[in-house]
Structures are given as structure tokens and as C-alpha cells.
Amino acid sequence: MTEPNNDLLPEGLEDRLPREAAATTRVMRAIQDVMHGHGYDRVLPPMIEFERSLAARMDGINQRRMFRFVDPASLRMMALRSDHTPQIGRIAGTRLAAAARPLRLCYAGQVLTIKGDALDPARERLQCGAELIGADNVAAACEVVAVAIEALRAAGARGISVDFTLPDLVDTLAEKAFPLEPQQIEAVRRELDTKDAGGLVDAGGEAYVPLLYATGDFETAIEKLAAIDAGGALASRIAALRAIAGALGGAARLTLDPSERHGFEYQSWLGFTLYADGVRGTLGRGGTYRIAGSGSGEVATGFSLYPDGLIAQVADGESGADSVFLPLGHDRDVAARLRSIGWRTVAALSETDGAEALGCTHVLAGSEPVKL
Amino acid sequence: MTEPNNDLLPEGLEDRLPREAAATTRVMRAIQDVMHGHGYDRVLPPMIEFERSLAARMDGINQRRMFRFVDPASLRMMALRSDHTPQIGRIAGTRLAAAARPLRLCYAGQVLTIKGDALDPARERLQCGAELIGADNVAAACEVVAVAIEALRAAGARGISVDFTLPDLVDTLAEKAFPLEPQQIEAVRRELDTKDAGGLVDAGGEAYVPLLYATGDFETAIEKLAAIDAGGALASRIAALRAIAGALGGAARLTLDPSERHGFEYQSWLGFTLYADGVRGTLGRGGTYRIAGSGSGEVATGFSLYPDGLIAQVADGESGADSVFLPLGHDRDVAARLRSIGWRTVAALSETDGAEALGCTHVLAGSEPVKL
């Protein structure tokens, strides 16, 4: 039996080396600056909590995906967070319960899961996002979607697109327009998920078939959705989607997939997914929801970004920053002045230190950096 | 038996609410910007690793202080990091083994331990720092101490002081000047630690007694140290300390406690501790060392800051930032322009939202913010 190599990292965990770490710093700062600018206050919950505390506010998030362990101090189970959202809900519902609503909070940090997924084996990911607590109206949705887009753009994303969905669509239609027996609802949802028109008819959901075609480019799809005769049951939702699209005014490419539920099982009337050109998979998602756990069940609107794919893209496009080599005996005041105007400096520590070997683009000659 | 309250956080773990989180963001950015400016490249190791991997590079760091758990994927023990230093050593010794030396790396993030200490019950702390790998000469020490001071100052610390020590002092003297039997060395170290002159004499370390008085204000103490007749054994150390103090040129108050070992058990010739006015306990420490673990054992010089005390001080002194309330129907372009010049905006989402309730200092009237 050979000794395990102590230098190996566990599967799904990685070091970010200088190039990617620099891109990480820049992307995370840019996203946070946009959220801050729109009045979202950052909060910093701990990396670990009691498992029950996270689980109680994690409707629909699989707590079996969390790293869990016994706290030697309390002998209770703790978990590493796999999502910031329940922590933000806890803070809003406890220490900030008396703060004025709507309450704007944001967060940025790592989340960990015991397993990656098929597309992305990472078990540690960055997550940042904003939550607007106490509001889930059209104005709240407009703001949250706009802030998400602006944050991604500021972080370097190009060709951003937003795919809207109406997570409670089937419930709404079943109640107000196209009645279904309780046992039919789940079958209709399932057939819509698989986009199977024949299956929908078999499940007694013939009236729901046109929903399968009200997808794609927003303007076209919303017309098709509006054409579905539902006795006005969808009128307010359609008006809301149009208001949001109008408010975004071309900031992103918009699409609609009104019956999409994957990932939106706990959203209320609105869900959206964010994409950008050249970034595989989703960059984030959001929507309106009701905070799970203790009592109140406040309404909220928010988004979560998973910027790792964007960070990789930004890092690829990066040329290293200029830096100036400071020879032995350089003038320290000159070096300090250069740093104060944005230069990076790399000081020689011995005769053998060389500017080029250390990756410098310039060398200090007298009081000026000279390009190598 | 009552149900545990799911809203409670475990002992030693806390949420940082907006005021303290804002101070955290500002302090951490300021420290990182200084390290970046001096050519230190950030790396981002994962929050968790194999326990053995951390332990192998953690000479003297108590691995029993780490949260540990079984990785369901590998069935090996993992741990939450309690210190970034072994992770930086691993990166330098593996993926960056071929990078030119000296290699400047820096880091910033959370560390966790299963127990706080008597003075500070926190089990999650922020840690940031810089490591200069491949150099431990006087020039390296000058740079590292200067960067640490500049980083603390940029983060808002006032009245910074640096306490120097010579961690291998007893070994050096025992070998070159005041011989001790191997079994006496530990006793002499212990009596120096307790500053007990009588005990020192009893332990056969009479020649070491003057060290007890070579402490305090740097200029006075270094004179006393120089006056200890040690046949030149300390000459190079004294010259090095004087060179470092000279290079700092009044950037901090300097003290010397040459026989202090607490916290420097694995430092080589130099150690230092950082303090600031109004911040309880130490803000950081650093020194020269040899990287533990796999083979090479490269020399290095670095510092670690634990800025939580400084963050609390900065947060206390903080008056909330100005922010401007955007009434319903405001001009979005005006709001975007205000944000682009640094304003925070808080948009009304309904008729009931009010500027004062939401903590705004200004309200947008036409195209200008008007003070409330």
C-alpha cells in the first residue's frame, strides 16, 4: 500500500493561482460594487452553522449535499454552507427583523457541497448575490433583474441573456382557467418539463399544449402566451413580464420559457436564469420567493450568481499587469510615489534578482520606469 | 426536552451585519491592495483539504484545533483550514515550484478552529498575509515588515508598533558564546520565557541573565543587547535588526524582546509581532522561517494579519455612507450617472417606501440629490 500523496487536493477542490485569483478578485469586487451602489448592504454570515439552522431555511435545497460534522463544543451537527440564501433569510428574520422593509442585503463568498455535478465537478464554488426582502412586486423584480445584469456586465460578461419563467404557471392555470384534478397536476407538470405534447394530452392537459410553443425569443413568446385563451388568468403575469422587459431596455437578450421549473421549485410567480456568451452553463438565477422557516414567511426577490465560469473567461483574456523592477538601492520615495499612482513594484532583494526573471515589464531608472 | 433554537449560531461564530461587513470589505481590500502594489500575487487555496496535507506543512500548528470530517468522495479525512500558511507553502512547493524566486504570494480569507482562546472566543477569523518565498535575508525582512505596516496603516490602523524577537537566540548563544549542556538548553529557554533571573541562574544560564533586561524601546534595548559580551555571536543579528529599524524610518513604534519565543517556535532568525492603538491583542505576526514538509525546505519570510480587531475599531468609527432615495418614476439615467460618480442609490418600489425609513441621507429631486 502506497502512502497517499500529501500534495494532492481532494477531487473537486482547487487552488486558484495568480492569474485566476487576480481575475477572481476583480470579478468579485465589480459585482459587489454594483450591488453596493444600488443600496444593497453586505452581510457576512459564517462558513459553518448548525445543520438544523441551515436546513430549516432551505426549502428544497438538499441538505444531504452539505459537508456535515459534529461540533466538539456543542456536540451538535454542523454543516458547511452550500448556499448563502438561507443564511440571508435567517439574518433578515432575526437580527434584522426590525430593520425597515424593503431590506436590501447582499453577500459574496464560498459555498461547498460534498458532490459536484456531471457538468461541473467543483465542490467549492463562489456565490454572490442580492436579496430584496419584503418586496416581490413588479418594481422589485425589475430592480433585481437589472442589478444582476449590471453586475455581470461590470464584471466583464458579454452577450448577457436572461431566460424568464413563471414557476407557478400550472397552479395558476389549474385554479383559474384550465381545471385539473389534483392528481393530474403533477402529471401535467412532468409532461411540460419533458416538453411532450402527446404526453400532455394523455395526462388530460390538452389545454396546456400551447404553452410548449410559447418559448424562445421574449417578444415572440410573450405574444404566444398572451394568445392562449385563459380568461385573463395570465393577464397580470404577462403585464409584469412585459414591464420587466421594458424596464431592461435592451440591457440583455431576453427569452421566455414559461413552464420551465428546473431550479425554480421554490420560486413564486417569477424566475429567471442568467447566461453570458462564452460561459458554459448558467451564471446565475433568481426570482421571487417566500423565505422558508420560522413563522413570518416574508416575501422576497433576489438573485444568486455563480461567477466561476465568468472568472475563467476573464482570466483567459488577461494580460498580466505592468510592474516595475526596483534595483537594489533604489529611491524608496520614488517607489512609493509610483505605487500611489497605481504601479506595482517588485524590489530586488539581492544582486541575483533580475527584472525579467521576476516577470517585470519595466525597470526603475532614476525616478522613471523604463520599459524592458 | 426543548427543541434547540434554529436561529442560534454556534458559540464563537457570528454574522457580520452591514456596518461591520462594510468595514470588513474596506479593511480587507486596503490590505490586499498594498500587498498587490508591492508585487505580491494573490492565490486562493480551497477552504478544505485533506487533513494530512495541511498537517504535513504545519510544523507546530496544532492539527487537533482543526474541524475534521470524512470526505464522502475519498473516504479520507478532510479539515477546514485553520491557517493559510501551509496552503501557501504547498502551492509554492508544487504548482509554483518552477516559478522564479523570490516568489511573492499573498492571501486573504477565513480560517476556522474548533476552539477559540481565552481572550477571543471566535472560532472563525479573517486572516490575510504575504509570503516572500526563497528569501530570508535582511532585505527580505525589511520588505516584509514594511509591507505589513503599510497594509495596516492603509486599513486604518493608528499607532502601529512592531515588537521584534530573535527566535533562535538561545541556540545561537549556546553554540557560539555561552555553552550549555543539551539538557540545560530547554531549562534556560523556559526561565527566559518566564523572565525569571533567579531561575536562570539555577538552570546554569547565568550568562543569559542580561537578556532579560535587553527589552523594551528598540534603541535602548538593542544597545543593551549589543553590550552583552558574546564574542561577536550576535553581531550579525544586531546589525540586521538595526538595518530593519533604519529602513522603517519611523513608520511604527519599535520594541525589542529578544528572547520572546511564544508564537515563534518555528521561526528562524527573526520574528515580529504587530500591534495598533486601541486594538486589543496582536494584529499579526511574522518572521523568517523554513517551509515545512516535502523535501526542499525553502527559506521564506512572511507575515499574517488577523484584522478582526481592527475591523471592529474601523466599524465603530464609521458613519454610514450617504445614499440618495430615488422616488417612483425617477429618471433612470440620472440615477445611473449618480452611481457612476460614487453615489449609492435606494429606489422606491412602492408608494409606501420612504427615504428616511430606508436610511437615506438625500432624495433625488429632478436631476440632483437634495439633502434630507
Nearest neighbour of A344 by CB, restricted to B36, B78, B347: B36
Mean pLDDT of A210-231: 93
CA neighbor of A121 nearest in space, from A279, A4, A10: A10
* pLDDT value, residue A297: 83
Each residue's pLDDT expressed in tens, for chain B with a length of 372 residues: 445 577 889 999 999 999 999 999 999 999 999 999 999 999 999 999 999 988 887 766 577 899 999 999 999 999 999 999 999 999 999 999 999 999 999 999 999 999 998 888 999 999 999 999 999 999 999 999 999 999 999 999 999 999 999 999 999 999 989 999 988 999 999 999 899 999 999 999 999 999 999 999 999 999 999 999 778 899 999 999 999 999 998 999 999 999 998 888 888 999 999 999 999 999 999 999 999 875 668 999 999 999 999 999 999 987 777 899 999 999 999 999 999 999 999 999 999 999 999 999 999 999 999 999
Strand, helix or coil for residue B260: coil
- Rounded to the nearest angstrom, the minimum Cα separation between B62 and chain A is 16
Contact B50 A9 (CB under 8 A): yes
Q: Which three cell numbers stand for residue B150?
A: 503599510
Cβ(B142)–Cβ(B294) below 8 Å: no
Q: Check A294 against B6: CB less than 8 A apart.
A: yes
C-beta atoms of A68 and B72 within 8 A: no
Tell me if A84 is assigned to a ligand binding site.
yes
| 3-state helix/strand/coil string of B36-85 | HHCCCEECECCCEEEHHHHHHCCCCCCHHHCCEEECCCCCCEEEECCCCH
Of A42, A102, A344, the CB nearest to B25: A42
Note whether A253 and A161 are within 8 A (CB).
yes
Residue among A1, A11, A14, A15 with most chain B CBs within 10 A, to mutate: A15
B32 vs A contacts (CB less than 8 Å): 25
Smallest CA-to-CA distance from A21 within B91, B138, B269 is with B91
ipTM here: 0.95
Nearest to residue A301, comparing CAs of A271, A276, A327, A324? A271
Task: Count the Cβ atoms, other than its own, within 10 Å of residue A159.
Answer: 11
Beta bridge partners of B28: none
Q: Do B293 and A6 touch (CB under 8 A)?
A: yes
Inter-chain residue contact A29 with B29, CB threshold 8 Å = yes
Task: Residue A91: list chain B partners with CB under 8 A.
Answer: 15, 17
Task: Report the run of H or E that residue A18 belongs to, with start and end.
Answer: helix A18-37
Q: How far apart are CA B113 and CA A28, in angstroms?
A: 26
Query: For chain B, what's the residue count?
Result: 372
Q: What is the band of A1 on the pLDDT scale with cuts at 50, 70, 90?
A: very low
Burial grade of B73 (CB within 10 A; 0-12, 13-18, 19 or more):
middle
CA A303 to chain centre: 6
CB atoms within 10 A of CB B341: 6
CA atoms within 13 A on the CB side of B233: 17
Q: Is A83 annotated as a binding residue?
A: yes
Q: How far apart are CA B317 and CA B29, in angstroms?
A: 18
Task: Give phi and psi for A53, each to the nearest 5.
Answer: -70, -45
Q: Are A21 and B43 inside 8 Å of each other by CB?
A: yes
Looking at CA atoms only, how far is residue B140 from chain A in angstroms?
6
- Residue B5: other Cβ atoms inside 10 A: 11
CB contact under 8 A, B46 and A14: yes
C-alpha–C-alpha distance, residues B107 and A102, integer Å: 36
* C-alpha cell, A146: 437589472
Q: Is A220 annotated as belonging to a binding site?
A: no
Tell me, what amino acid is at A324?
Answer: V
> Residue B100: which region, alpha, beta or left (left: phi > 0; alpha: psi -120 to 50)?
beta
Please report residues of B whose CB lies closer than 8 A to that of A139.
Answer: 328, 347-350
| Contact across the interface for B87 and A15, Cβ inside 8 Å | yes
Which among A17, A43, A124 has the least Cβ separation from residue B17? A43
3-state secondary structure of A242: helix
**Helix/strand/coil (H/E/C) assignment for every residue in A120-162:** CCCCEEEEEEEEEECCCCHHHHHHHHHHHHHHHHHCCCCCCEE
Share of chain A above pLDDT 70, in %: 97
